[in-house]
Amino acid sequence: MELNRLLLFTTFLLHIKPSRMSPMGLICDQRLIQKYVLEAVALEDKVSHCGELPLLQQPVHLPLVGFNPRDWMAKTNQAKGLEVLRDLAKLVDGTAAAQRGLQPGCAFALLQQLYEKASTFLLQLRNFEWQEQDSTRQPEEDSQLIPERNLRTIFQTYKQLVRGKLRLLFHDLWKDSCGGDHG
């Protein structure tokens, strides 16, 4: 399975436009985040068409991605970015663990898509400037995790993360880095 992921990732890298692979290309094209939000919603919808989903034998640990808007706005972009990185890393880990517990089929294929999308965000955000500025400091707090056996919750968590923290982070970075105003 690892070889398949490597081949898929290599194929992805060969077909992606260089401007969209750079963090600034991702941040400065606001249409992209809206596209990713719509894809997250579509993934969650597609999983409902898979029929009865089995519960995972072993629970996976997913980040709690809800947040208080007032607390979020008080954070620096660097703190927001590190928080999103932690949440994405935990979601990627949880998705990979869920895949190991499934047989190939509808849900497995959709989990693979989610894994690829979340891994791409993780890769891009790890290349962003706050990593260099703060590479020696340990995160102030770890993401809170919840054990989950329901596959639908993995898709809901991803959608909530993309619609919430990730979209707001990209908006804030856009304002600061791409000449955006408050409109």
Query: Could you give all domains of the chain from N- to C-terminal order, each with its CATH number?
Result: 2-177 (1.20.1250.10)
CA distance 173 to 145: 26
pLDDT digits (tens, 9 = 90+) for 26-81: 677 778 888 889 999 999 999 989 888 889 999 999 999 999 999 999 999 889 99
Digit-coded pLDDT (tens) for 156-166 = 999 999 999 99
- pLDDT over threshold 80, residue 6: no
Query: Which comes out higher in pLDDT, residue 22 or 108?
Result: 108
Q: What is the rounded CA–CA span in Å between residue 60 and residue 157?
A: 12
pTM above 0.85, yes or no: no
* Secondary structure, 3-state, the chain: CHHHHHHHHHHHHHHCCHHHHCHHHHHHCHHHHHHHHHHHHHHHHHHHCCCCCCCCCCCEEEECCCCCHHHHHHCCHHHHHHHHHHHHHHHHHHHHHHHHCCCCCHHHHHHHHHHHHHHHHHHHHHCCHHHHHCCCCCCCCCCCEEEECCHHHHHHHHHHHHHHHHHHHHHHHHHHHCCCCCC
Measured CA to CA, the distance from residue 4 to residue 50 in angstroms comes to 23
Residue 30 pLDDT: 78
